[in-house]
Amino acid sequence: MENKIHNDNEDIIIEDADLEDSLVEEVVKKPLSKNAHAKKLIDDSRELISKVDNELYEAKDIVSKNVSALKEAKAELTNATIAKTRTLLERVNHPYVDEDDFEPFEVELGTASESISVKNVSSGWFSGLILAIIGMIGTALAWLFVSTKVTGEVIPFDKIPTKEFLLEKMQDEKLFSWIGDNPQIGMAVMGVTTLLVGFLLYKVRVSMKANKNIENASSTFEQSNIYVSSQKESKSEILKVDEHIKVVTPLLGNYKAILDEQNAKLERIIHIEGELENNSDYQRTSKEVMSDTEKLMESVERLISIPVTQEGRLNEMSQNALIDTKVVYESYLSKLYA
């Protein structure tokens, strides 16, 4: 499909696609008014804030579910398995020191940045209109006052004149004839200047409001970007915590399975060899079981006793404890399946 532009000499054929592109370019190049620019900045600010807040909320929602799974795994490990392991080690008189020096286990995702206020853009037309009306009334009264001084006519400005009185004075040729050659010209001059004053006041008010809108919108947009950067940093830290938790949770399950097995071995030792007063009197293989159990206990208890987060960020001590716990676990497996 084509568009044709005719002239006297030839047909100029313009493809629709080219025409559309040229129209788009004209729209793009057309500069925005100050109020339109301010509104766009405000809309962009709202969109940025809404998007990053939703992303942060979704991240917190996901990590909260994983935290619940972690706490459940920790409770299953400590309330049954580890409690039983401690009791069995005491019964065989194997020395074991609890990790009591560490802070209680916790996951704190930190507090969100204080949200910023994004106000709507007001064109200022209403306040400009009110100012214009006041200015027009003031100009009209000023003309009347000057006219009374020039012509000697009397208008009681100290009280509100009646409608009939004003109409009578408006028709008085003396009151306006001094402005021009006749009262009609005088009234026209008065009317034009009154409208001009109102128009100028309106334009000044709207222009000042537009400048203020641009200033406020630019400041809001700048604050929005700072807020977005802060929220993105919080989201990044939350995702780090989440990745850490997703590694810790199954590891606790693995430790529970191993320690349950160690508990069974300790029960077998007690059943066969009895509860000896001197731990050194147990068989060598039995003491190896006790030693392995102690290492496993120390490692996992340290991991679950250190706060996962510190001041809303992933705790470096928890990261190091996870590394150590994985090393002990892998070392035990290599020994078990050697």
> Packing angle between helix 284-305 and helix 316-336, nearest 10 degrees?
160
pLDDT band at residue 27 using 50, 70 and 90 as cut-offs? very low
pTM of the full structure: 0.65
pLDDT higher for 245 or 207? 245
> Identity (one letter) of the amino acid at 236?
S
Average pLDDT over residues 203-231: 82
Q: Which of 186-195, 279-288, 329-338 has the least mean pLDDT?
A: 186-195
CA geometry: angle at 318 spanning 315 and 320, to 5°?
110
Q: Each residue of 95-114: pLDDT tens digit?
A: 876 654 444 555 666 555 55
pLDDT band at residue 11 using 50, 70 and 90 as cut-offs? very low
| Distant-in-sequence, close-in-space partners of 302: CB < 8 Å, separation ≥ 6 | 99, 102, 321, 324, 325
The pLDDT of residue 151 is 64
Residue at token pair 């000044």: 204
pLDDT higher for 198 or 300? 300
Among 55-59, 87-91, 182-186, 226-230, top mean pLDDT goes to 87-91
Residues 78, 276 contacting (CB under 8 angstroms): no
Q: Each residue of 251-268: pLDDT tens digit?
A: 999 999 999 999 999 999
Judged against a pLDDT cut of 70, whether residue 153 lies above it is answered with no
The pLDDT of residue 215 is 79
pLDDT band at residue 313 using 50, 70 and 90 as cut-offs? confident
